[in-house]
Chain A
């Protein structure tokens, strides 16, 4: 799911509670999930590098994982939740007033009585033939528009 609206430089004098995350980051200093200790003394150096790389990858992944089961169940009170919801809806209302002017224009309608237009006679074939004749004639008229070369474009400069 993507982001509809975001901004980098928020002014900080606004209520800081608005920006507080709803789920606090669990165990920011946690070790990797399966924290195994490798004794680096006895293994060759190439192996150690690879394992160090693996460890670092594991560590970075663990930082990004939100372990829902391990998070302490410090839920919000009902009144806190209602307060936040009200704050957000007020903000949304403010924003939607300014954004509503950018609505796309609706398609223009060809007719107010579509059933009448649909039920009327078909476009007569003579009209279609007339238009195709017009198109052919216009095409031949256009082909008369062409470059009329009167002089050479490239000339030699004669140095006397």
Chain B
């Protein structure tokens, strides 16, 4: 049943600028990860997404967190009950 998700993660990694992708649920349990993002990042990613939701009053609006560094940007975004993080090299 998870093959659709696995396929989606693999497709995402085909993009040359993307070096890592991670998908977790609201408790930080990893649903799938590739590349530079792995199991140990699940907790932090889910908590970041949950905290950032309190920045906006609109409950349907989910902000995107961007962690910028020398080695690319990590973008974290929640959608419904899952959180997705993408590690992308800055072009």
Tell me, yes or no, whether A binds B: yes
Does A57 lie at the interface of the complex (its beta carbon under 8 Å from any beta carbon of B)?
Answer: no
Contact between B84 and A142 (Cβ–Cβ < 8 Å)? Answer: no
Q: Which residue of A lies closest to B76 (CB)?
A: A131
Give bound CA distance, A121 to B4, whole Å.
35
Give bound CA distance, A131 to B15, whole Å.
12
- Residues of A in contact with B, size category: 20 to 34
Does A71 lie at the interface of the complex (its beta carbon under 8 Å from any beta carbon of B)?
Answer: no
Interface residues of B in 67-91 (CB under 8 A from A): 67-70, 73, 75, 77-84, 86, 88, 90-91
Q: Which residue of A lies closest to B73 (CB)?
A: A123
Known A117-B69, A127-B88; contact A138-B75, beta-carbon cutoff 8 A: no
Contact between A110 and B75 (Cβ–Cβ < 8 Å)? Answer: no
Give bound CA distance, A139 to B67, whole Å.
22
Give bound CA distance, A144 to B8, whole Å.
13
Give bound CA distance, A147 to B44, whole Å.
28
> 1/0 contact trace for A111-143 toward B, CB 8 Å?
111001100110110011011101111110110
Contact between B82 and A110 (Cβ–Cβ < 8 Å)? Answer: no
Contacts of B64 in A (CB 8 A): 128, 131-132
Contact between A134 and B12 (Cβ–Cβ < 8 Å)? Answer: yes
> 1/0 contact trace for A54-86 toward B, CB 8 Å?
000000000000000000000000000000000
Does A3 lie at the interface of the complex (its beta carbon under 8 Å from any beta carbon of B)?
Answer: no
In-complex Cβ contact of A111 among B1, B7, B70 (8 A): B70
Does A146 lie at the interface of the complex (its beta carbon under 8 Å from any beta carbon of B)?
Answer: yes
Does A158 lie at the interface of the complex (its beta carbon under 8 Å from any beta carbon of B)?
Answer: no
Question: Which 3 A-B pairs rank lowest in CB-CB distance, beginning with the nearest?
Answer: A135-B79, A110-B69, A141-B5
